């Protein structure tokens, strides 16, 4: 942060490929360490290129700063013990944002990274499978409307009155859903389980469903 000229009050605009999959993960990490002035560029690189906007190869000349992060905001992050506690609670809901084949255990690695396996396939008991990319428009990668997003999550019991925990493989895809629920739909009780299936699926004794 310091070497890239970022101060604690700098506005940071994030974008990337895969419909802003990794941009959302960076957003979550920044928020976790207390950086508040953040935005995600709606549509990411996909929309930028569809609109034939320019790129540059110039490297910006930035003056180094003395960036100081805040203590971690643990209200944004779920840990293994949080997931265990939520398993039998009616006021909690798990959202598995992976592909349907990962959810059922047919495959143990995401289609985009087929070599990154877990020891076991399946999903956390009781989790709802709502793939992360259902929140975006296929044509340009922009987020769907407020009404459309509500129709994706609410019928599956993912409502704002519940404690919501999102997970995927390592927390990057689930950070996209976390962003949608928290910042586009206004959910106040939503956390990202960044241990995700890499932790849960590789630990002997953790219950799984297929």
Domain edges within the chain: 74-200
Q: Residue 205: CB partners within 8 Å, gap ≥ 6?
A: none
Cα-based torsion angle of the residue sequence 3, 8, 12, 17 in order, rounded to the nearest 10 degrees: 70
Closest to 178 measured CA to CA, from 72, 15, 32: 32
Intervals of the chain under pLDDT 50? none
Residue linked to tokens 């100081």: 68
Return the SS3 of 191: strand
| Superfamily of chain region 74-200 | Rhodanese-like domain (3.40.250.10)
**Measured in Å, how far apart are the chain's first and last C-alpha atoms?**
42
Active site residue ranges? 168
| 182 touches 197 (CB < 8 A) | no
pTM given for the model: 0.95
- Please give the helix or strand (H or E) that residue 96 lies within, else none: strand 92-96
Q: Is 46 helix (H, G, I), strand (E, B) or coil?
A: helix
pLDDT of residue 22: 95
Question: What pLDDT is stored for residue 97 in this prediction?
Answer: 98
pLDDT in tens, 103-141: 999 998 887 788 888 899 999 999 999 999 999 999 999
Query: In terms of residues, how long is the chain?
Result: 210
């Amino acid at each position: 942060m310091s070497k890239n000229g970022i101060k604690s009050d700098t506005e940071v605009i994030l974008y990337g490929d895969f419909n802003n999959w990794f941009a959302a993960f960076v957003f979550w990490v920044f928020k976790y360490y207390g950086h508040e002035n953040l935005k995600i560029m709606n549509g990411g690189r996909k929309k930028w290129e569809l609109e034939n906007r320019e790129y540059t190869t110039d490297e910006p000349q930035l003056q180094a700063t003395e960036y100081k992060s805040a203590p971690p905001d643990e209200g944004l992050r779920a840990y293994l013990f949080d997931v265990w506690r939520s398993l039998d609670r009616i006021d909690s809901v798990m959202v598995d944002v992976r592909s349907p084949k990962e959810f059922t255990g047919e495959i143990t690695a995401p289609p985009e990274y087929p070599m990154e396996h877990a020891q076991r396939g399946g999903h956390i008991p009781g989790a709802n499978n709502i793939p992360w990319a259902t929140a975006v428009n296929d044509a340009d990668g922009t987020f769907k409307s407020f009404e459309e997003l509500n129709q994706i999550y609410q019928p599956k019991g993912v409502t704002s009155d519940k404690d919501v925990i999102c997970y995927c493989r390592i927390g990057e895809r689930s950070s996209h859903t976390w962003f949608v629920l928290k910042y586009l739909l206004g959910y106040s009780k939503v956390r990202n389980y960044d241990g995700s299936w890499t932790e849960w699926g590789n630990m002997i004794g953790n219950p799984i469903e297929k």
